[in-house]
Chains A and B, each alone.
Chain A
């Protein structure tokens, strides 16, 4: 059979309605409870009477059970009052001891039946999409043979983020499917010179999340961050140090395992900041490991010290974000801190780690009638020898991701999507509840002094009502925000001038088609938006420039009937040469392709559209001396894009 036709057939069958797929499932989902055995026939009449009598008793007992008032007792934790973790235990006990919503089970039952017909009218979910990236920075090498070259577009200059690909001036290191591949940089003569399969013994079979690598400044060490699930206990993160002094003979040097799921990591001055998440299940206050994150420094797992745990007055979640600092070469731990109840993305500035927690605040906790979405941001500093507690701030609205935060000259700038119910909002400046005309969603910008932890400036409700923040980017005294009404695929893009906090000004594009899921400052006042066009099936890149009256779209590039990755790290951004690269998967095409564009100041020119295997999420590319080196699913392609 023709391979292409075969592929199309398979694609066509992928379009079968989900209901039919589920209906035809030959394997039924596993159930924890066993089916009841079938009743046997031919019971004697006495047994029947017995059953009837038992049923009557059950009905009476059931009625009593239904109308007995419900009570939720808070666990008595006073016996731990002398312990180091008493404050945390008390808060956890408070969190788990939720007051009963119903007076008795009958009320609970009748409301439940009501909900079947009328639905749950109050439901809110957080949208926290991961992403990564930032400014380009050229890191100097040590001059001893190989020198480090930065290719990840880090959010903060000099704060290096892990990725699938790193490079020196001689080699490109690409991690794919547990295998580290080393390619020489030699234009069309480039080749795979070494392949090193990471030892996954004891790591189970489920590799949770994307593995990432760092390359040391002297190009001698690759650090692999390998999240996995061992199938028995919980998610773990292995940090593996590989000696790549001789890339043809790679050896594993050190390995450290940290419990929890992988969130993010950074490399700063030879030290790795590892951020992991740890969720509490089945608390037993007699066993620290059931409610405290554990760190293994090599001499057995230990709980994080109480003074190293930052927690809010009232918990909104039982989840820790753990920050651990280790030396890059030796993997020796230099300290750890944990944020309890902070469960969202993490932003790392030049000297601090900011964790956030989103929650809903009600004016009246009992009635829960009017309220608004809130975010609390807490920080720790990491520039000293150890990690130290920083400040905290409460802001109105929800934060989408770490790009919504930026620290500049001691001011933390934050953009949030605000959401209010029944005409009330919490005024973060005045620290009180105030009336507001708008309900639903909008966007606000806050500037927080990181010395005093006070809001020093704010621009509230700057977007059209009903819109949400889709992407944010800061660059020095400028801030860029894309808000959108996702359903109608329209957005404005805002340019903020933050040079004078007493007079923050902004301009916008007005409503335009599509919206950006990532914004990239391309320098010289140009802003690139990567996102969707007039439908979710159109990949769109658009360049914006500020004019006297507003913000104007300058040029765009679109691929129809295609999808792309929203992970910022999968984009190739070269500001110096104004190159943009990303993987695109056209529907009904066998292979995806890697698109590289040149922004010449007027147009986005397509330099290449190279068929490349694999998902856009995992495709990477870099342009060196006129050649584009592209990496996909077990595929490596080199193509000349400049010269000759």
Chain B
């Protein structure tokens, strides 16, 4: 079923909307949650919560891209749950990805230099826009979808060391780009 039709079902308050969402994007949402939570059960619950959020958001919202709309909800919910679980355990893969990314954030402590959300959004997307398609996919998969290096190597047809080096170069460029924009995250 087309995304537009699924959104129409939500607007019509049809229960089929959930079933169609589950069929089309269940695996996608589960993938995102699983990467963050590393627990099948937690990820499943997170995906269920995603459907509720989507149900409550539509109407009034009419997302232009249903896939990323659901993905963003799942990621947000998974991170919230991750916060809750943090006291008990840490997700190594996610930690590793974040540790990598934090290296490229300029070391600024001045509160005045903290940026507005819109400026940051523009800077990130400008950086991504200037990458090659392959590199951009690599970067977003690593730091948005939180894929492991091994998964990236397999899915992108690269060696693990090649993935690491490419990511390192991109992080350096990202750091440079943010510094040029005068941004401290």
Name A's B-contacting residues (CB within 8 A).
1, 3, 5-10, 12-30, 32, 125-129, 205-210, 229, 231, 234-235, 260-261, 263, 277, 279, 281, 317, 319, 343, 561, 566, 587-588, 617, 633-634
Q: How far is the CA of A340 from the CA of B15 in the complex (A)?
A: 17
Most chain B beta-carbon neighbours within 10 Å: one of A27, A205, A277, A279: A27
Which residues of A are found within 8 Å of B23, using beta-carbon distances?
A: 30, 32
Which residues of A are found within 8 Å of B79, using beta-carbon distances?
A: 10
Name B's A-contacting residues (CB within 8 A).
1, 11-16, 18-19, 22-28, 31, 44-45, 47-48, 51-52, 55-56, 59-60, 62, 64-65, 67-69, 71-72, 75-76, 79-80, 83-84, 86, 95, 98-99, 101-102, 105, 117, 120-121, 124-125, 128-129, 133, 136-137, 139-141, 143-145, 147, 151, 155, 185
Q: Is the CB of A210 within 8 A of B56?
A: yes
Q: Is the CB of A261 within 8 A of B52?
A: no
Give the distance to chain A from B113, nearest Cβ to Cβ, in Å: 13
Q: How far is the CA of A431 from the CA of B65 in the complex (A)?
A: 43
Q: Is the CB of A229 within 8 A of B19?
A: yes
Q: Is the CB of A26 within 8 A of B31?
A: yes
Contacts A209-B56, A587-B117: A279 and B48 contacting too (C-beta < 8 A)?
no
Q: How far is the CA of A7 from the CA of B136 in the complex (A)?
A: 22
Q: How far is the CA of A310 from the CA of B121 in the complex (A)?
A: 52
Q: B53: nearest residue on chain A (CB-CB)?
A: A615
Q: A261: nearest residue on chain B (CB-CB)?
A: B15
Q: Is the CB of A5 within 8 A of B102?
A: yes
14 example contacts (A-B, Cβ-Cβ < 8 A) are as follows A1-B99, A5-B185, A13-B101, A20-B128, A20-B140, A21-B72, A24-B137, A26-B141, A126-B59, A127-B60, A206-B48, A208-B55, A343-B12, A617-B56
Which residues of A are found within 8 Å of B51, using beta-carbon distances?
A: 206, 208, 229
Which residues of B are found within 8 Å of A277, using beta-carbon distances?
A: 13
- Partner among A8, A22, A128, A229 whose Cβ is within 8 Å of the Cβ of B67: A22
Instruction: Give 10 A-B pairs besides A30-B26, A208-B15, A208-B52 with Cβ atoms closer than 8 angstroms.
Output: A6-B102, A9-B98, A9-B102, A14-B76, A18-B65, A20-B136, A25-B28, A206-B52, A207-B52, A279-B15
Q: Is the CB of B24 within 8 A of A30?
A: yes
Q: Is the CB of B80 within 8 A of A633?
A: yes
Closest 9 CB pairs of A and B: A235-B15, A24-B140, A15-B121, A18-B68, A24-B137, A27-B28, A205-B48, A17-B125, A27-B31
Q: How far is the CA of A633 from the CA of B22 in the complex (A)?
A: 25
Q: Is the CB of A279 within 8 A of B80?
A: no
Q: B128: nearest residue on chain A (CB-CB)?
A: A20
Q: Is the CB of B18 within 8 A of A13?
A: no
Q: How far is the CA of A430 from the CA of B71 in the complex (A)?
A: 52
Q: Is the CB of A10 within 8 A of B98?
A: yes
- Partner among A1, A27, A279 whose Cβ is within 8 Å of the Cβ of B27: A27
Most chain B beta-carbon neighbours within 10 Å: one of A7, A18, A263, A634: A18
Q: How far is the CA of A13 from the CA of B51 in the complex (A)?
A: 22
Which residues of B are found within 8 Å of A125, using beta-carbon distances?
A: 11, 62
Which residues of A are found within 8 Å of B14, using beta-carbon distances?
A: 261, 279, 281, 319
Give the distance to chain B from A548, nearest Cβ to Cβ, in Å: 37
- Partner among B65, B105, B141 whose Cβ is within 8 Å of the Cβ of A24: B141
Q: Is the CB of B140 within 8 A of A205?
A: no
Q: How far is the CA of A108 from the CA of B101 in the complex (A)?
A: 53
Which residues of B are found within 8 Å of A127, using beta-carbon distances?
A: 59-60
Q: A278: nearest residue on chain B (CB-CB)?
A: B15
Q: Is the CB of B15 within 8 A of A319?
A: no
Q: How far is the CA of A28 from the CA of B24 in the complex (A)?
A: 9
Which residues of B are found within 8 Å of A9, using beta-carbon distances?
A: 98, 101-102, 105, 185
Q: Is the CB of A18 within 8 A of B64?
A: yes
Which residues of A are found within 8 Å of B99, using beta-carbon distances?
A: 1
- Partner among B1, B44, B75 whose Cβ is within 8 Å of the Cβ of A14: B75
